[in-house]
Amino acid sequence: MNISRESVLEYHLGGKVGLRMTKQLKGLEALCRAYTPGVAIPVKEIHADRQNLYNYTSKGNLVAVVSDGTAILGLGDLGAEASIPVMEGKAVLFKAFGDVDGWPVPVNHCRIGGGNTGKTDPQRVIDATCAIAPMYGGINLEDIAAPACFEIEDKLDELLDIPVFHDDQWGTAVITLAGVMNYCKLSGRKIGDIRMVVNGAGAAGIRITEMIKAAGGRNIMLCDSKGVVKLSRKDLNSQKMLHAVDTKANTVGEALKGANVFIGVSVANCIKPEEVAAMDNYPAIFAMSNPDPEIRPEHVAQVMGSKPYVMATGRSDYPNQINNVLGFPFLFRGALDVRARTINLEMKQAASKALADLASQPVPDYVKAIYPDQTLSFGNGYIIPKPFDMRLFVEVSYAVAEAAVKSGAAKAVDLKQYRLDLEKRNATREKVVS
């Protein structure tokens, strides 16, 4: 889809988010309830029992979208202020798809040395986020460069009693795992038997590798800009070392020989058609670099001819878009609704399974109407649901909440009633379609 620079800037005039009052303020009585003297009553209730924060404030449906601007999209380190349009955009997606109130929280002076340039100082981001946490029911970390992002998420998850989720790490991993699950169904292979190559060893690549291993994947080669992450290398950080393998392969092309699945979260045009041709029969190629994939779908189609294969990208103008919006709004929806203390691995895996299962169901006509040039039925060209499928709100949110309760991340709730509540809420939501 081609959109002009002028239309984008016009769309962003005045920003994309603002205050929405949930209660009307009309007349003297309402004023007295909203502020003094009435407001003193919920203040005392919260002081007496901290859990009343969820009853008498916006905390239970409010997520902070926190960034220091060190890894904005594919643009790199442009700073916290330049990150704001992206964080506002994330807040829009939170509300439109998950009915979650997201709010941008750009953090300055969180670099080593305290300035606004240079590498991220993890402790400064941790301190800043802990300081604003009382207002929020969840923390969505965004566009924070690796490897600092790993320490920041892990430490915040340990310190805070609300869900902390770095979407750049886990969002792509959740959706990718769903796609791999459905590739396995279509190809008749088990996830433990397939050989995978993950190209890109930053936040997304590391977590994709972890998610697939947790789901039973055993044969994965991780590659970075210097080639295969192997035990003989002396330049690996602690995250990469966890996934280093003993192999004779040095390059991503060598690693792809005979592989079943390629997963790219790296750079454009780094995979050659002949390298795809050297993969095993019925391969899956997840080329997710944006805006230009590791290898274009047209080039894969050319080299594969009539042979069966699965092709996925990060773009909305091709089939099988691995889009984070399929995950984070509903991961937080389910987590917030049951007041989960964390978003653990079980909840992420549940989200992946719910996405995979939904893709095998008949697609509603209103979704088909948005994609008239695509065949939306389970198969090689449709392994993952579309973002505009309203059923995501119920299916993924419920799966996450159920996993939270069963894994002990949240207290017991009536899950049957919760699903009914989700379905009722979903029936009154406006479809996010044009």
Q: In sequence order, which residues have a C-beta less than 8 Å from that of residue 129 and are 6 or more positions away?
A: 64, 66, 105, 107, 139, 141, 152, 156
Alpha-carbon span 389 to 354, nearest angstrom: 13
Alpha-carbon span 157 to 130, nearest angstrom: 10
Indicate if 119 belongs to the active site. no
Residue with tokens 């002076």: 109
C-alpha count within 13 angstroms, C-beta hemisphere, residue 28: 0
Alpha-carbon span 123 to 155, nearest angstrom: 9
Contact 110, 128 (CB under 8 A): yes
Catalytic, out of 11, 23, 35, 257: 35
Alpha-carbon span 341 to 409, nearest angstrom: 6
Radius of gyration over alpha carbons of the chain, in Å? 22
Q: In sequence order, which residues have a C-beta less than 8 Å from that of residue 260 and are 6 or more positions away?
A: 187, 189, 194, 195, 196, 279, 280, 282, 283, 284
Contact 334, 137 (CB under 8 A): no
Contact 402, 350 (CB under 8 A): yes
Q: In sequence order, which residues have a C-beta less than 8 Å from that of residue 135 and are 6 or more positions away?
A: 57, 58, 59, 62, 64
Length of the chain: 434
Residue with tokens 């039973």: 216
Residue with tokens 């955009």: 89
Residue 295 vs residues 117, 217, 263, 275: alpha-carbon distances, Å: 33, 24, 11, 10
Alpha-carbon span 9 to 206, nearest angstrom: 34
Task: Sort 204 into a burial class: Cβ within 10 Å, 0-12 / 13-18 / 19+.
Answer: buried
Catalytic, out of 90, 348, 353, 386: 90
Distance, C-alpha 305 to centroid of its chain: 33
Nearest alpha carbon to residue 73 among 63, 64, 83: 83
Indicate if 35 belongs to the active site. yes
Distance, C-alpha 227 to centroid of its chain: 26
> Which residues participate in catalysis according to the annotation?
35, 90
